[in-house]
Amino acid sequence: MTAQAISLRPAVSGPVQPRFTFAKVALIAGAALLALLWLVPLLWALDTSLKPEPETTRTPITWFPIDPTSAAYRSVLEQGSILRWFLNSTIVAVLVTALTLLVSVLAAYGFSRTTFPGRKVLFGLLVAGILVPPQVLIVPLFAEMTTLRLVDTYWGVVLPQVVAPVMVFVLKKFFDGVPRDYEDAARVDGANRLRIVWSVMVPMSRPILGAVAIFTFIGAWNNFLWPFIVTTDPSMMTIPVGLANVQGSYGLRYAQIMASAVLGGLPLLIIYGLFQRHVIRGVGDAGVKG
């Protein structure tokens, strides 16, 4: 299909060739300029982090470090707390992703393929739950966490994030479209329903599960508001919460502030670079999560 399109184009656009090329060059230049504009803040942060402290406050500004140094990174890492926040973020994001997938797949299968009394009412409740923004729950949820003694614990950070009715809704819609023949075949072979979920539904929905996993992971890693509220002990903070205090504690040492920003952003940029194709397809297929 694409090959056809390419072979058609030169023949048709032949007569207007010169204007077409000019427009095309202009578009490419515009696209590249816009991309550069979007990369400048990231590059500026990297640039600043490699300068010696005194150079960061020089006027007029210097575009490239005259005397590049990794001193800022060394002092940030020596302080140590950022490593602890990395660990916390990893634990939280992995737990949230794994539990969300497990719980949501089972629930989606239950709502899509089984019947039990009250199923419709419960699904209606789930759909209503999509409308509740997590932001309006922070106050009662914190009160609840205090009662449950989950403040400043991993479970306190993790469990509310596992409740993702949108994910169940999207997966249920997807399961609805999976033909029942595969399941019936597996059932004839003696598989029980849990077995069917694992060896029929999960393999058949691998792309959408991948999208759900990546977005849940990014969302959990980046979540600021809830971890900010439920953690007060610096040793329990995640990267986004811990870094929020960096500005105050480093004072005016901009190289160090930018070094911690670079360190805090790098893991996700790497993950995104590796999984870019899945992320992009995921937004198209299931990314609409409000």
Q: Which residues contact 217 (CB under 8 A, 6 or more apart)?
A: 93, 94, 96, 97, 271
- Using CB under 8 A, which of 82, 97, 160, 200 touches other proteins? 160
Q: Which is nearer to other proteins, 135 or 206 (CB)?
A: 135
Q: Please name which of 234, 213, 211 lies closest in space to residue 83, comparing C-alpha atoms.
A: 234
User: Residue 56, interface with other proteins (CB under 8 A)?
Assistant: yes
- At closest approach, how far in Å is the CB of 73 from other proteins? 15
Place of tokens 């550069």: 36
User: Residue 126, interface with other proteins (CB under 8 A)?
Assistant: yes
Q: Which helix (H) or strand (E) holds 75?
A: helix 71-79
**Crossing angle between the packed helical segments 206-222 and 165-176, to the nearest 10 degrees:** 170
Interaction residues for other proteins, span 71-90 (CB under 8 A): none
Q: What is the DSSP string of 14-26?
A: STTHHHHHHHHHH
- At closest approach, how far in Å is the CB of 80 from other proteins? 18
Residue 233, by phi and psi: left (phi above 0), alpha (psi -120 to 50) or beta? beta
User: Residue 28, interface with other proteins (CB under 8 A)?
Assistant: yes
- Using CB under 8 A, which of 82, 97, 110, 212 touches other proteins? 110
Rg (alpha carbons) of the chain, rounded to whole number: 25
- Using CB under 8 A, which of 17, 21, 58, 74 touches other proteins? 58
User: Residue 247, interface with other proteins (CB under 8 A)?
Assistant: yes
Dihedrals phi, psi of 7, to nearest 5 degrees: -70, -25
- In total, the chain counts a number of residues equal to 290
Cα diameter, the chain: 77
CB 86 within 8 A of CB 242: no
User: Residue 184, interface with other proteins (CB under 8 A)?
Assistant: no
- At closest approach, how far in Å is the CB of 273 from other proteins? 7
Place of tokens 């999208």: 211
- From 66-74, 75-83, 186-194, 205-213, span contacting other proteins (CB under 8 A): 186-194
Q: Which is nearer to other proteins, 65 or 240 (CB)?
A: 240
Terminal-to-terminal C-alpha distance of the chain? 34
* C-alpha 267, offset from chain centre: 11
Dihedrals phi, psi of 13, to nearest 5 degrees: -85, 10
Interaction residues for other proteins, span 208-237 (CB under 8 A): 218, 221-222, 224-225, 229
User: Residue 140, interface with other proteins (CB under 8 A)?
Assistant: yes
- At closest approach, how far in Å is the CB of 205 from other proteins? 15
- Using CB under 8 A, which of 34, 83, 87, 274 touches other proteins? 34
- Using CB under 8 A, which of 101, 165, 200, 201 touches other proteins? 165
User: Residue 18, interface with other proteins (CB under 8 A)?
Assistant: no
Q: Which is nearer to other proteins, 37 or 78 (CB)?
A: 37
Interaction residues for other proteins, span 262-281 (CB under 8 A): 264-265, 268-269, 271-273, 276, 279-281
> What are 174's two structure tokens?
């997807």
User: Residue 200, interface with other proteins (CB under 8 A)?
Assistant: no
